Amino acid sequence: MDALVETMPGANTAPPVLLLQGTGGTNLEMLNFGRRLLPQSPLITIAGRQGVGAQRQYFRQTASSPADPQQILTEATWVAQQARSVCVQHRWDWERLVTVGYSNGAAMAAYAVQRGLLPGVGVFLHPLWVPVAHPHALTGRDLWFSAGERDPLVTPATVQRVADACAQLGAKTTIKVTAGTHNLTPGEVLAAREWLGIHAV
C-alpha cells in the first residue's frame, strides 16, 4: 500500500471513516483524530500528492489564488478511488463511509461529495470555497460544517457559502461557528463527535 494511504482497524460493523488532513498535516495526526471522533470505526487516511512536508496538500489553493479545476478533479477522483479500494479490500461498507476533512482536506472532501465521488455523511472543518462543475444531487445527505469567528484563513461566510451550495443540492446541513481561529477548539471537536454519534450509522 502506498505510504500516502494508511488505515487503522476497527469494528467491521461500524461505518468506515475517511480522514483528509489540512496542509502539512500527517497521517498519524488524522488517525488519532478519527479515533477520538468515532472510537469503534475503521479508519482510512489519505495524504495529498501535492507538495511535501509542511507544504503537502491535496491541491494548491489560497484565499487569493483559486484552485485549478482539473487538478482538484483529478485529485478528488484519486482520493475516492483509493478510499473505495481500501473498503473493498477490508470488506468495510463503502456506502456508509463517513468523510472528515480539515482545511485543505475539508475543501477536498466537500468538493468530492458534491461531485458524487464519496457517499455517506460528511464533516467539513474550516473548508475553503471551491467551485464545483456538474454537481450531483445530495438529497437527504447529512453534512456538518464548522468555522471560527477569528479564523484568518477561512471566514464563517466562506464556510456558509460551501454549506449553502450543498444545501441547494438537497443536503441537510449543520453549521457550528466557534469563537476560535483556524485551529480546532475542544468544543468544536466535541460538537462534531456528538453529531456523528447521531448521524454516522
User: Rounded to 5 degrees, what are φ and ψ at 2?
Assistant: -55, 140
Q: How many domains does the chain have?
A: 1
Strand 98-102 and strand 122-125: the pairing is: parallel
Q: Over its length of 201 residues, how does the chain's per-residue pLDDT go in tens digits?
A: 458 999 999 999 999 999 999 988 999 999 999 999 999 999 999 999 998 888 889 998 766 677 889 999 999 999 999 999 999 999 999 999 999 999 999 999 999 999 999 999 999 999 999 999 999 999 999 999 999 999 999 999 999 999 999 999 999 999 999 999 999 999 999 999 999 999 998
- Give the pLDDT confidence score for residue 55 in this predicted structure: 84
- Give the pLDDT confidence score for residue 62 in this predicted structure: 63
- Give the pLDDT confidence score for residue 185 in this predicted structure: 94
- Give the pLDDT confidence score for residue 1 in this predicted structure: 41
* DSSP H or E run through 44: strand 43-46
Nearest in space to 92 (alpha carbons), one of 145, 181, 13: 13
Calpha distance 147→124 (Å, rounded): 9
Nearest in space to 188 (alpha carbons), one of 180, 199, 196: 180
Calpha distance 190→195 (Å, rounded): 9
Cα–Cα distances (Å) from 91 to 2, 41, 87, 164, 175, in that order, read 19, 13, 6, 34, 32
CATH number of the domain at 157, please: 3.40.50.1820
Sheet with 5-8: strands ordered across? 5-8, 43-46, 17-20, 98-102, 122-125, 142-148, 172-178
Calpha distance 15→90 (Å, rounded): 12
The DSSP symbol for 68 reads P
pTM of the entire structure?
A: 0.95
- Give the pLDDT confidence score for residue 125 in this predicted structure: 98
Residue with cell 478519527: 34
Show the domain range for 109: 5-200
